[in-house]
Chain A
């Protein structure tokens, strides 16, 4: 094998109380797609941030083309041909594509006047266009970033890295925000970049993707390299076991649903966002007791607003919502909660938890004012603590103590706190929005099992997720939300990835193929 373009030897990176990377060795061959696979918190992004100069390693060496280098900041990394596309894009929405390309790398023409020099937008725009054509990444240099779709913004990020002369591209969870079709397009681009001699590090926790695209796979767990494998010689099960450190069930076991009465009935619902744009338009569906209705869709198609309207967090513009036969359209969140509705919110840091609160207080966030946690307006700390002890055990929440602040828990344990709190109440409807986003395989397995258990006990479940695998493995019926409208509702057995993928991209089906539920 030729000299690796990038070689990491014994990289260690410590944060207070955490060893994020522990003696990591890693090699990237020229023209290779090397997947870095691991659960959340395994240290993948930390390792790449070291390479990209956002962190400095505590120990270890970095070699580029055989030469040891020190990388202090992203400019060092870019100067050495390393570009990174972050999971959260680093673009300025109110600027054009060209202006974003020029950030920190301003090309000027005319007299050299320092900060007063004239920017050469035309030349940069031409270069961007040329790069786009060369790599199959068409973008409009004049477009404002805020007007681009997520997939297009990602393209801008990739072109930006190429524009800065990247030979090694680091892609951090690039498919998290894409439809299956968009992900396929991205893979095609990745292959064409490889064909031109670039090398790619592909960070992900999705097993299917690494097997589809990677030339080599390195698995990280708890900051250490567990092993390196080639796709041909491994399987999803083996990789999952390497990631988690024990065997995991990838497909949850579930029997057929036994649906009862409708617990949630949504009729012609309209919701506007804060900018008064209609983001949920004429949506109707129902969820029956004992069934899971999955709402598939690419993030940002009205899911957040739909769930907020159902739970009373956002006002309803038009239409009706009934729960257990009673109208709840304009009720406040507490009234809806008290009707037996559990809500696992999309953003656990913003809505689901008070990060500066200890666990026990977080576990009574919905019930702190009710007996036994409060008696005549006085809190009963003992009962609050007892409740926490019980739920920590029952839901296997890994925490040093019940007084530990929610912010110090891992994402998986934070989500378990929310699930424990919501499911421990007497509920008839569970609304779960992205219940496993960003979680490790082990926590996903646990939460999926709990959701199925709730269904089997007769709870109606509305599952909103942009992970197709999650929708397909849990749902009894599936609805697809696109641009605020439900394009189709189908029984799970009639759903395929391809069919859902097309609907998620907004391709309407011919009328005769829309099967009524």
Chain B
């Protein structure tokens, strides 16, 4: 078990290195931060000085190696745009994004899984068909459109929920939370629904499809033939057998929720990492963008590790003796 985790973490090292390389290369070759920082009026001497100060005169791989080495120590350099350490910037923005992503994931799972089970068991019921039609909207409408529609209905017409920002936030030394105030919770609703809706409907449709498959299986028929109760069959035997693919997809989707909250954060002006990333792209702020991508890759690796461990817990056939 321990060896398994260690081997997984070791496998993750090259992944993170390669993602870092790609991120750094991509951003280093698109856009020139120097001209953006200097504006329109500067002398050649000023330009050369700035290039030297940012270390851009060194060979690319040296720059990359320095970047990764510093990253290993939690240093991602100084933001070109804000002239502040990237680590501080990300740490400031992280609570907003993580709280949003957590709420969206809980929403997606707590509603998606039961609805998938329900529509799988009562697949011909009228209510199931209604759910399925609504889920089509969820999987097919783009996120920004859902966000704008929600703002239109709940902020403009009904005026019950705020349309932007985090609302009232309680600050701690290293964390700021919107969970503790009514205003913060209210501000969380629309962005979380927007962010989680696609995942919710995807998980629901996946659980439903898996349930339909499992409910036809011989072991469910045999469980019925042994007279087991409906609840034991549906939740004990059927749902658990649908979990392996559901965990896979849910894991990837939760990673996606955090990584790609960019659109939602932009629509709702949510002061999280996604919004920081978008603002950094506009001025080619390489350290921020590269740091963000490296962080996301670490996050995906962690999520995949958790997913692997969950497989292990759910399915005895995967507990291979090593």
The answer to whether A and B interact is no
Chain B: residues with CB nearer than 8 A to chain A?
none
Chain A: residues with CB nearer than 8 A to chain B?
none
